[in-house]
Structure 1
Amino acid sequence: MTLPDAGTLPPSPSGPSVRRAPSLRRRMACWMYEGMLMFGVVFVAGYVFSASTQTRHALDNRHALQAFLFAVSALYFVWFWTRGQTLAMKTWHIQVVDKHGQRLGGGRALLRYVLSWVWFLPPLAAMGPWQLSALEVSVLLLGWVAVWALLSRFNREQQFWHDILAGTRLIDIQPDLARRRT
């Protein structure tokens, strides 16, 4: 059985235009898997940057490397989101669409990427003024991720708030188990 093309949505049990959000557990599992995949993307991009700029020390060209990795990550996500799914989203049967159920355009995907940095920026911003240790930042980051994820429970559509602001939705495209058994 093959999954539908990212441009067309499979019919929903509650109607063709109403799609439910995946469970928070599935979205967070997808988020974790995406992080593992991004480790590889960032590793290769960092190696290419370091080799091409002849960087010998980790702190040399630090800001240029950060900008480069931000751009590479943006390209990765925008490219996949305009096609409906990243590899992690395909694995967990999750698709990103606009609020009308259509594929994302490049501008909306880029807006979603920028707004999704709310997962990381508040704890990272706390590093500077308070001189937090790496352990304290890690605890703060994990706490913030949990809070941000749980805030989706206060949205009637169960969407993350950065998706609401970007005009996007995560939808469940899990294949019907009754059809899979036959």
Structure 2
Amino acid sequence: MACWLYEALLLFAVALLATLLFSVATQMRNALQHRQWLTAFLAVVLGIYCSWFWARGQTLPMKTWRIAIVDRHGRRLTQGRAALRYVYCSMWVLPPLLIAQGRFAGWDLAVVFSGWVAVWALLSRFHPQQQFWHDAWAGTRLVDASVLAPRPASETITA
């Protein structure tokens, strides 16, 4: 979960920069203007960020905690499988947002969201390999980074 919180911090920064870019490009005058378009734009930007790094094996927080992501056969993810995992990862946030849709705000929304995250995380205990369901559905799994094959010399950076 520490890796997840670190990832959330980085995603917040990415979303903040993307929102600034969107706001300047569309000349937003207030937060409600173009809200649906901004939400879609952020979903695409975050999807690109996640699938890009997952296809390379790790995001920065995953490197910090020495976690890697691979497919069922232990290979690096294809860009398509990484994007599919991103779609399935929406199960962490979409249900509470759909439930709350206009009915909750502020702390109430935080409680609904936190409750769902706790329930969704606990549901991994019902999976035979104790993995999260979005990984099972996407055909991916988190592993110790030491099991990844070293990068070919053509992919390494030389100084």
The residue identity in structure 2 corresponding to 1:30 is C
Determine which structure has the larger helix proportion and give its number. Answer: 2
Structure 1 residue 152, shift from structure 2 partner: 1.3
Alignment check: 8 A CA contact 2:69 2:140 kept: yes
Normalising by the residue count of structure 1, what TM-score does the alignment of the two structures yield?
0.77
RMSD: 1.4
2:90 alignment partner in structure 1: 117
Q: How many residues align?
A: 147
1:145 alignment partner in structure 2: 117
Identity of counterpart residues, as a percentage?
A: 54
Does 1 or 2 have the higher relative contact order (CA < 8 Å, sep 6+)? 1
Normalising by the residue count of structure 2, what TM-score does the alignment of the two structures yield?
0.88
Structure 1 residue 174, shift from structure 2 partner: 5.9
Unpaired runs of at least 5, structure 2? 148-159
Match of 2:128 among 142, 156, 179: 156
Deviations 1:83-138 (A, max 9, x none): 00001111111111101100111111111000001001111111137x12322211
Q: How does 1:117-136 map to 2 (within 5 A)?
A: 117-128=90-101, 131-136=103-108
1:74 aligns with 2:47: yes
Match of 1:87 among 51, 54, 60: 60
Q: Which is higher, the Rg of structure 1 or of structure 2? A: 1
Match of 1:49 among 17, 22, 30: 22
Q: After the TM superposition, which segments of 4 or more aligned residues of structure 1 sit over 2 Å from their partners?
A: none
Match of 1:172 among 138, 144, 147: 144
1:60 alignment partner in structure 2: 33
